Chains A and B, each alone.
Chain A
Amino acid sequence: MKQKFLLCATLALTANSLSPIGWAQSPPPAAEEARHWLERMIHATQTLNYEGTFVYIQGPHVESMRIIHSSTASGERQRLFSLNGPPREVVMVNNSIVCLLPQQQATFPGGDYQNSPFPVSIPRELGRLENHYVFEILGQDRIAGLETRVIAIKPRDAWRFGYRLWLDEHNGMVLRSALLNEQDQPVEQLMFTDLQVKPHIDESAFQSSALALNTAPASTNPINPNMLAPAGEPMKESTWQVGSLPEGFVKVLHNRFTEASGQHPTEHLVFSDSLATISVFLEKLEDDPPLLQGESRFGSMNAFGTVVAGHQVLVVGEVPAATVQRIAASIQQVSKGDKP
């Protein structure tokens, strides 16, 4: 493992010295230093108490949102809501997510989730990440009036997108991020216009006024069961096989969920390389027409749908179109006896 890491670091350094960096005349960018910055970023986004406003750009669409985050002894809490257009809001309390979206109010219970909650194991995740991405320091910039360090996360192959991150020099908080496609063009950007790091966030800041919903932790405020998202149950066995995954993507979840109506049982598989996430949904089509066949796109998310053995297969993720297509094409149903 250590050897592998060294090899990666060497590769990264070689790549850096070959590619011209036009950003700044700084000393040769070191992957090690970039990695250190990313560790700071993960730590900062999880442990700081902050309130801020940012703009979010997806292709031609621009909007502004506000985020409030606190981390205390009792856990992590985050409230994110739109400032323009119809009110939309996502509240995260420890491991549960409450979404208040148009046409949809859903809660994701955290209990059934197999992975440990935050904080993720930073060194382990970053180590895995470096097998598939190169880290670089590009220079310095100023965002929301704050000095930042610009870090690039470049994919080593064409199966994933790259990121550019602007991290607060002072505390490592991500103040701007850009998701870059195969042509290095931004497909999604986020930039704070204002960010305040505070020792303490007032409780009232987490009250969802626009939607009149009490967002206190679920223990003190039982959530209306009608709002519960389809409860997922972990699956040990499946008749489905994903034949081809880009290197580095590992399965982090395999659930089955059913709508409240009891209809449309769906298998949900999640694959991650620690940065990009790909979901595979498998839903039996009774007499319904397929939901999606062929490729489509939701902002930065690419999707590919196909029908296999009377099931709708839908692959979606913030990865290139070729990646979701490749995975969708490799999915097959195997009879139970075939599986070890």
Chain B
Amino acid sequence: MADKTAEQTLAPTVSGTTSPIDIIASQLSAMVDGELADEEIALALRRLSRDSDWQGRWERYHLISDAMQGHIPAALDTRFTTRIHQAVANEPPPLSIARPLPSWYKPVTGFALAASVVLVALFGLKLNQSNATFPPVASLTATIPAPATASLPAEVVALTQPAANASEPVEARLNSYLVNHNGYASRNSVNGMLPYVRMVGYQVNR
């Protein structure tokens, strides 16, 4: 229906003797050259997406255009588009890109950014899960040698952790550990101001 409309509205702009095929040709040609009017592009694209005749022309026009501008590669794969189409058709459907936020994610105005940042920070926490055993420590007992200059744990945030691993209780508990630590640390340290600063600071430092 829309196509007809497009062609009908287009018709007066072209000479009365022009066949619909010629109109298509001139439209496509203009689009290849980037000269089609914006309002016509949408209609042309819609037609292009489902009309194999248009698609064939589209390819050929591009080929002509490339040839005229000297952009033809040494070898040409004429079935390139078909193979891309097939590959796409065989792909499993993509996951929804805009995943819904977990139900516990309830940012309050002003805290929205922080909520996501804390979430990331706590994913980061679970990063080095592999070293559950710690053989080096066995040697660090009674004699208390200086610890080897241990490679510092990378200050990293892995976003690769599946979201399923994060649940509100886990976060809240880890967060409360850290707040608790600093809350009590401030009362035992000669430099009593820093723990408060850390409490405020680590909330957005990832």
* Contacts from A to B (Cβ < 8 Å): 38, 41-42, 45-46, 56, 58-61, 63, 65, 67, 78, 80-82, 85-90, 92, 95, 97, 99, 101-104, 106, 108, 113, 115, 117-118, 120, 125-126, 129, 157-159, 163, 165, 174, 177, 179, 181-183, 188, 190, 229-230, 243-244, 246-247, 252-253, 257, 259, 263-264, 266, 268, 270, 272, 274-277, 279, 281, 283, 288, 291-303, 306-307, 314, 316-318, 320-323, 325-326, 328-330
* Contacts from B to A (Cβ < 8 Å): 110-115, 117-118, 121, 124-132, 134, 136-138, 140-141, 144, 146-150, 152-153, 155, 169-181, 183-206
11 contacts between A and B (CB under 8 A): A58-B205, A61-B204, A86-B110, A102-B115, A183-B149, A252-B184, A252-B188, A268-B180, A279-B181, A291-B174, A316-B177
- Bound-complex Cα distance A183 to B151 (A): 11
Quick check: A323 and B179 within 8 Å, CB to CB?
no
Asked, given contacts A67-B193, A101-B179, A102-B111, whether A270 binds B203 with beta carbons under 8 Å apart, the answer is no
Quick check: B201 and A294 within 8 Å, CB to CB?
no
B150: chain A residues at CB < 8 Å are: 182, 320-322, 325
Quick check: B172 and A297 within 8 Å, CB to CB?
no
**Residue of A38, A115, A117, A295 most packed against chain B (CB within 10 A):** A295
- Bound-complex Cα distance A288 to B128 (A): 18
Name the one of A279, A303, A316, A322 contacting B140, with C-beta atoms under 8 angstroms: A322
| CB of B107 to closest CB in A, whole Å | 8
Residue of B nearest to A90 (CB): B196
* List of 7 A-B pairs having minimum Cβ-Cβ separation, nearest first: A102-B114, A322-B147, A277-B185, A86-B114, A294-B128, A279-B181, A329-B137
B199: chain A residues at CB < 8 Å are: 90, 99, 101
